[in-house]
Amino acid sequence: MKPLSQVLRKNGFNYVLIKRGQRSCIYEQLVEGKTIAYEVFIIRTVPERCINGNWIGEHEKFPSNEAFGYSAWTCRSLDRAVERFNKIENIKDSE
């Protein structure tokens, strides 16, 4: 399975991976090299599939805009992002 990139671009923002756990990630959101916020989200995978005859392997995906508030959150400070990250990472499998 292909993991998320450490550096990526989406919606006009640059993102740099700050922290990765078993369940979640923190990405720093940047514009012109300046930190705007931190994105914390639950890692989701997309299964292998065929699109127009081209096979795309199983891979992790960056959250869609619609995921925010459900499985992804924007935090203004790194401290708040780490709190959210730790909360996600400490969820028991039975929950």
**Model's pTM, two decimal places?**
0.90
Range of the domain at 61: 7-89
Cα atoms in the 13 Å half-sphere on the side-chain side of 83: 7
* Within-domain flag for 94: no
pLDDT over 70 (residue 28) = yes
Percent pLDDT > 90 in the chain is: 92
* Within-domain flag for 52: yes
* Within-domain flag for 1: no
Domains of the chain: total: 1
* Within-domain flag for 74: yes
* Within-domain flag for 95: no
Contacts of 61 (CB under 8 A, 6+ apart): 4, 44, 45, 46
Which residue shows structure tokens 């699109």?
51
